[in-house]
Amino acid sequence: MCLIMSRIRNSVLILFLFLSTDFIFPKTITVGKNEKIKSIKQALALCEDGDVIRITGGFYPESNLVVTKQISLLGIDLPTISGSRKERILTVRANNVAVSGIHFADAGASFVKDNAAVKLDSVTGCAIENNEFSNNFFGIYLGKSWNCKIRNNKIIASQKAQTYSGNGIHLWYCKNIIIEGNTIDGHRDGIYLEFVRRSLIKNNFSTRNLRYGLHFMFSDSCEYSHNTFQHNSAGVAVMFTHHVQMHSNLFINNWGGASFGLLLKEITDGKIYNNKFVRNTCGIYLEGSNRNIVEHNLFENNGWAIRLMANSMDNNFMKNNFVGNSFEVTTNNTRNYNTFANNYWSDYQGYDLNKDGIGETPHHPVKLFSLLVEKNRPTLLLLRSFFVELLNTAEKVFPVLTPETLVDKYPEMSFIK
């Protein structure tokens, strides 16, 4: 009996303490034409931490919305919030905010404010998921933010000039960001990262962007996997970055006079593996890049599979497949400080006497004509001519100008699976 009375007293005490605090239960605020709350701005003024704002289907011409509480914004039947082509739409300045199920349209162009449909400003733990974006200057913009997720959004624009277009997903000075499952189409850069650390970019589809499908600078220790970069002015540009991992990506149909699948500029200690480079002007272009591992990639039907500049050293190209490229490897130097080993070359004409799967004679992937083209691009007009074949054959028999040490001493005889 005493034990029961003691438990009752404790329960009463706990209830008294609970009721005496300023605890506020989370609530749901519904916004809509037929609701008591008609505007999103009004709902943001009424909400408290933990609340959910439900935005019903409809058109909301509201801009410069600011979230300062830890809330969830949930769209029902994909409501449209429009910036009327003049202003930014939504700025998040609170942690742990979730935004989903909303169509953001027509954030206005600005060369001073960097107007975005959704901007995360110095926050952590936020999630922007399952939204649609159309014709915005910037789609999603993160500045000084940590531990956020950008997932399964569709980000479409139709600008014709880079000067009037922002980036689809833009990160500046961020850490531990997950960018996954997004479709980005028609922006300046599909995804842009600057001063970003330890982030994962995975399963995104970036196409028809005016400059790069993906562009990142000074962004160390990030991982990029299972993305597709297709029909961009140029595929991916990687600059001034260390310890980058790029694997299982598809670089396809990135064509143009100065285009490429992947540009590596001032990159060190990176690892590029299990990627496919198909029908690009250039598969990989390396400039000032050192100590990178390039292995188990497919280079198929590109103009140049690899353009390797003289200031790139100690890179290892191993177990790659080179199939049907106009030029396998080209360089602007007669010396070589990189390693090619155990690659499959569809142009290899050697033999395998001991049947161990390795060619008995080394393969020289740099043709004389590729050196001439590197120094004088208009000579490309002679490609496939009898004169070029004669020139390459003569250089192969009596090598003088091509780099003698840029050679695969152990070429694979069959396609590497």
Which pairing describes strands 138-143 and 59-60: parallel, antiparallel, or unpaired? unpaired
Give the separation between CA 416 and CA 318, rounded to whole angstroms: 11
Q: Percent of the chain having pLDDT more than 90? A: 74
* Burial class of residue 98, CB neighbours in 10 A (0-12, 13-18, 19+): middle
Q: Decide which of 383 and 78 is more confident.
A: 78
**Which distant-in-sequence residues (6+ apart) come within 8 Å of 182 by Cβ?**
150, 151, 152, 153, 154, 155, 168, 169, 191, 204, 205
Mean pLDDT over 235-261 rounds to 93
Please identify which residue in the block is written with the tokens 């449209």: 80
Compute how many other C-beta atoms are within 10 angstroms of the C-beta atom of residue 356.
10
pLDDT for the residue 253: 95
Q: Does 147 score more than 50 pLDDT?
A: yes
Structure confidence at residue 41 as a pLDDT band (50, 70, 90): very high
CB 193 within 8 A of CB 164: no
Amino acid at 166: G
* Burial class of residue 355, CB neighbours in 10 A (0-12, 13-18, 19+): exposed
Give the separation between CA 375 and CA 50, rounded to whole angstroms: 63
Mean pLDDT over 128-134 rounds to 98
Give the separation between CA 122 and CA 275, rounded to whole angstroms: 34
Structure confidence at residue 333 as a pLDDT band (50, 70, 90): confident
pLDDT for the residue 19: 46
Give the separation between CA 137 and CA 4, rounded to whole angstroms: 66
Q: Does 248 score more than 50 pLDDT?
A: yes
pLDDT for the residue 364: 87
pLDDT for the residue 18: 45
Q: Does 343 score more than 50 pLDDT?
A: yes
Q: Decide which of 316 and 367 is more confident.
A: 316
Q: Where are the domains of the chain?
A: 26-357
Weakest mean pLDDT among 33-42, 95-104, 359-368, 397-406: 397-406
pLDDT for the residue 61: 97
Mean pLDDT over 33-41 rounds to 95
Mean pLDDT over 242-271 rounds to 94
Q: List the Cα angle 119/230/323 in 5-degree steps.
A: 145
Q: Does 391 score more than 60 pLDDT?
A: no
For the chain, the straight-line distance linking the first and the last C-alpha, in angstroms and rounded, comes to: 76
Q: Does 390 score more than 80 pLDDT?
A: no
Q: Percent of the chain having pLDDT more than 70? A: 85
Q: Decide which of 5 and 213 is more confident.
A: 213
Structure confidence at residue 20 as a pLDDT band (50, 70, 90): very low
The closest of 14, 22, 138, 117 to 73, measured between CA atoms, is 117
Q: Does 302 score more than 70 pLDDT?
A: yes
Mean pLDDT of the chain: 89
pLDDT for the residue 197: 97
Indicate the fold that domain 26-357 takes in CATH: Pectate Lyase C-like (2.160.20)
Compute how many other C-beta atoms are within 10 angstroms of the C-beta atom of residue 111.
10
Give the separation between CA 67 and CA 95, rounded to whole angstroms: 10
pLDDT for the residue 332: 84
Q: What is the pLDDT of residues 156-181, one digit of tens each?
A: 998 777 767 899 999 999 999 999 99
Q: Does 65 score more than 60 pLDDT?
A: yes
Amino acid at 265: K
Weakest mean pLDDT among 181-195, 252-266, 345-359, 397-411: 397-411
CB 415 within 8 A of CB 298: no
Structure confidence at residue 13 as a pLDDT band (50, 70, 90): very low
